[in-house]
Structure formats: C-alpha cells, structure tokens
Structure 1
C-alpha cells in the first residue's frame, strides 16, 4: 500500500509506512517499529476517519490502524501474566483495533485511542478465556469480571497483609477478603469462591498417553467411566436378568421331578438363616441311593439345563 502519513510537527511524510513494520518472526523488531510509527493529530484522525466512513477509503483506515499499533503493544503487556505468547496477545489486540476503526464515528467527539481501548481489551480478553485453559473457566459476565480482577485484587490483599505485618501471605482468600471482593465487584461471595477454585486448579488429561517406557499412564478416565449406562452393558444386563428369571424357569421345566428337586435343593434354595438347602448325603438318604449317585444326577441335570438355557437365549 502506497500511503503518506504526515507527522504532527513537520510537513515531511513517510512513504509506505508499512515498510517500517519488519517481516514476521521478530517480535522485538515489530514492537520497536510500531513505536516509531508517527501518531496522528486530531485533524488528521478526523479526516481519515471521515474518508473511511463516507467513502470506504481503505488507505485512510490503514493509516488509522498503523498510528495506533503502539496502543495495542502497550495494552497487551498488561496481560503477560496469563502465560500466553506476547505475539498472540498483540495479534488479537490488532483485531480489536481494526474492529474499532471500522465502527469509529468521528462525529461523536471522542478520540480513536479512547474508543479503541475497549475493543482491543475485549479481543484480548476473549483470546485469554479461550486459550488459558483447555476448559473455559469463565462464561457469564460475573465470571469474566472475576477472572480478570481476582489476581490483581489478591495481590492487593497480600500487600495489605504485609503492610499490617500479619505474617505470611495467604494463597487463599479469607472470608473477610471474599466479602470485600464480592462487594467491590458486585458479585456473590459464592461466585468469588468458585472462581478462585477454578483458577487454582489445572487441566488434567482424561486419557493420558503411555509413558516413554511403554507403561499405560493412569488418568481420570480409569475411574470416571460410567459403564452402567453403556448400551452394550445395558443389553447384557437385561439379558442376564431374563436368563436368571424366565430362562432358569424354562430350564427347570425341562427336568424330571427328582432332578429338579435336587437342583433346587443344592443351588436355588436359601433358608431363613442364609444357609443352603439339603446336602448330597441328605438327598441320598431321602431317595435311598448313594451320595455319588445324587452327584451324578445333579451333573446330568445341570448339563441339560445349560442346553435349555442356550436354546432359550
């Protein structure tokens, strides 16, 4: 883009101001170049803003953006404590700056720097909330307010504790500090506690990758998985229930009376004292045969029932 940007104090012009911005990959050089770009006077800002608003002059919009890149750099430094790349913060702030230029009305009597500040912070806030953790920690308006104020307010409370010589710094807020923060931010104390808990936690992989030595890593998926409502498990449980009721009844009906009584006494009967039914010797004495014969009848009856159950299933 071939453009001319007039400096505030001289009639000299900078041809193609984009040439002052270095190639990608060198953040320090970019910041240095952004700080060297000339700022616009009120008259120049009004002129370029009207050209863009009335005539859709993209060259004028580019001049407005370029002259405020240093503002984005300055604002982005305030959010370095969230552990995200400075370059990404600047990039998102530049998106907010361009949105501000697009919506800027020069007839409102406000300088672009004041109007753009909100849009720059809004884009940076949204980027931080989406990328600070794998799981989004703030969704409501109150949660967003807490997210961006909790850390600074905790630091202030720690400073107050130190000034009052109250001993070691607390990592968590006490009830008085929670109430004070809730009043200042106009939120509920429960929301302050919830956000502090979210910020103090960390992301945990549900299913961690195996370690370098090939051993499977233990993760929450090992104990959080609910198999009770897994479709296959539910079908299998239903089939077991049917076999344990109607299936067993059908299999018992396939036996003669003696075999059925032996199976019921040996496997299905439970007395009031939770003891089982008759023993082999008890049944042998009743039927006038040996205990071994009762065992043989039992084995044959169980095989017949197994066949009947397989056919029923």
Structure 2
C-alpha cells in the first residue's frame, strides 16, 4: 500500500478567499493514493481515508461552484452545497470500478448545487420537472443577448434539449420575470398599489354577504321565533340541552329527574321540538 502524505487539517478561515487558498494548497492525491484511500474507506470504514479524499477534491468544488456565480447567489453557499455533494460522492465511490473520483464526484457536486439554486434563486420555484431543470440550466447558454428568442431559436433549442417549444417559451418567461412582494409596505404613497390590493375579498361577494346575513338572521331572530313557538317544557329542554350560555349541556337523565319522567320521554320531546323548530326556521329563510 502506498505511503500517504500528510494532508493539512482545515481550520476556521475568515473569508471565502482564504478558504479558496486553503483548498488550492491541499495536495492532489495520485491515482494509487486515491485508490488506497477509497479502498480503506469502502472496505474498513476508515474515516481518515474519507477525509483525505474529501480534502484533496475541495479545489474541484471551488472550480465547479465558480461556474454558477451568474445566478446571483453567494459563492460561499455554492461551495458549501458542492461540498455536500462531494461527501455524498465519496460515500458512494467504489474504487474497483476503474474510474477516478473526480469523474464520479462531479455529478454529485453539480446535483447539490443545482438543487440549491432552484430552491433559492426565486421565492417561487421556477423548475420542478426534469425537463424544466434541463431548460433552466441550459437556456442561458443558447441566448446570444438579452432579447427574446425568435421562433426559429425556440425550435432549435427545443430540438437540441428534447423538450417542447412551448416549454422553452415558458421557461424563458420565468427566467425574465422577477419576484414581486404581495405587500410592498409603502403606506406613504396613495397612488401606489401592491398586488395584494387587487386580490378579491371573499367577504365582498354578494352571495357571500347574503349568506352571512341569512345566517345572522337565523342565529338571532329566527331562533328566537322558533323557541317562542314551543311549549314551556319543550323550550326548557332545548335550551338546557343546546343553548346553555355556560356551554354545559344538561343530560337526558338530569332533565328526566327534573320533570319526573323517563330519559326516553325527554328524548322524544326533544326530537319533536327540534323537528318543529326546523320547520319554523325554514319559513323565515
């Protein structure tokens, strides 16, 4: 087994530039050293070997992350997400397949960076399907300037990426748009209206207003009239069972003891009173 050189131990750094300098100072492992480390980690779970593999490929993450600076996200965050992808790659890397770790890891590094960009580039996700993701990360390279794609350009991009022309147009529109807050928070400008001002008020719908008025009528006047048309005992039973102000309902047995009848008789009186009240309420709707 090849004798491995000692790799530097990472320490806290004060800036992204210092981190990049550190990553570039870590020696690149030879093919044999890489195979030995990967074998030790794969077969024996040697974490020091895994650490060596990760540290020796930090410069790769920095280089890949630099290619995504055009999306306006912090370089440090892109590198951090890429490092997560690198660690996932090291965990899954099998040295017996005959490929170098750099070729295997770049897929995982890009996948984590892509996921981070899609989640954080806009408040609303611009790409969710596989075709949309492909468009998102490739459409910019096809555009020669900031002008909209012509129909011929749209057709060419769609054919090259294997998607529908309308999907190209939709993604171009999404990329050209901007997030707009629902409420701008500007109270000093009477002529300024945020999008939230144009949202419909459910309570302002005529049908909703009428329904609320009917419910309020039933809850007050309608219910009062329906109770007044009951005999005193039925009114007492309904009130004790359903309309107690303290929220505590009387039981059938309690009312049965009060009137000296069976609980079944109280239930029958209650059912008859409820039926009569429903009829009264139907007439006032």
- The TM-score, its normalising length taken from structure 1, stands at 0.64
How many angstroms apart in 2 are the aligned matches of 1:202 and 1:139?
18
Q: Distance in 2 between matches of 1:37 and 1:78?
A: 21
C-alpha distance in 2 between matches for 1:63 and 1:136: 36
Q: CA deviation at 1:210?
A: 3.1
Deviation at 1:229, TM superposition (A): 8.8
Shift of the 26–239 alpha-carbon distance from structure 1 to 2, 3 Å rule, reads: closer
Q: Tell me if the contact between 2:203 and 2:209 (Cα under 8 Å) persists in the aligned partners.
A: no
Q: Work out the CA distance in 2 between the residues paired with 1:135 and 1:238.
A: 36
Counterparts of 2:97 and 2:59, CA distance in 1: 23
Q: Is the partner of 1:17 in helix, strand or coil?
A: coil
Identify the residue that residue 255 of structure 1 maps to in structure 2.
none
Give the corresponding residue for 2:169.
193
Correspondence for 2:63 = 74
Aligned equivalent of 1:110: 99
Instruction: Give 1 or 2 for the bigger CA radius of gyration.
Output: 1
1:144 is the counterpart of 2:117: no
Matched residue count: 218
Residue matched to 2:198? 223
- Which structure has more relative contact order (CA 8 Å, sep 6+)? It is 2
Unaligned runs of 5+ in 2: 218-283
Give secondary structure in 2 for the equivalent of 1:81. helix
Residues 265-280 of structure 1: matches in 2 within 5 Å? none
Relative to 1, partners in 2 of residues 1:32 and 1:188: Cα closer, same or farther, differing over 3 Å?
Answer: same
Match of 1:31 in 2: 20
Q: TM-score, normalised by structure 2?
A: 0.70
Indicate if the aligned counterparts of 2:73 and 2:121 stay in contact, CA closer than 8 A. Answer: yes
Separation (CA, whole Å) in 1 of partners of 2:38 and 2:212: 74
Residue in structure 1 matched with residue 159 of structure 2 by the alignment: 183
Aligned mates of 1:57, 1:243 — CA distance in 2: 73
Are the aligned partners of 2:202 and 2:208 in contact in 1 as well (CA < 8 Å)? no
TM-aligned CA distance change 1:85 to 1:216, over 3 Å: farther
For residues 95 and 102 of structure 2, what CA distance do their matches in structure 1 show? 12
Separation in structure 2 between the aligned mates of residue 103 and residue 234 of structure 1, nearest angstrom: 61
Q: 1:184 to 1:234 in 2, by over 3 A?
A: same
Cα distance change on mapping 1:216 and 1:58 into 2, 3 Å: farther
Point out where structure 1 has 5 or more consecutive residues left out of the alignment. 7-12, 159-169, 245-311
Over residues 269-289 of structure 1, what are the superposed CA-to-partner deviations in whole Å (9 max), with x where a residue is unaligned? xxxxxxxxxxxxxxxxxxxxx
Say whether residues 1:205 and 2:181 are aligned partners: yes
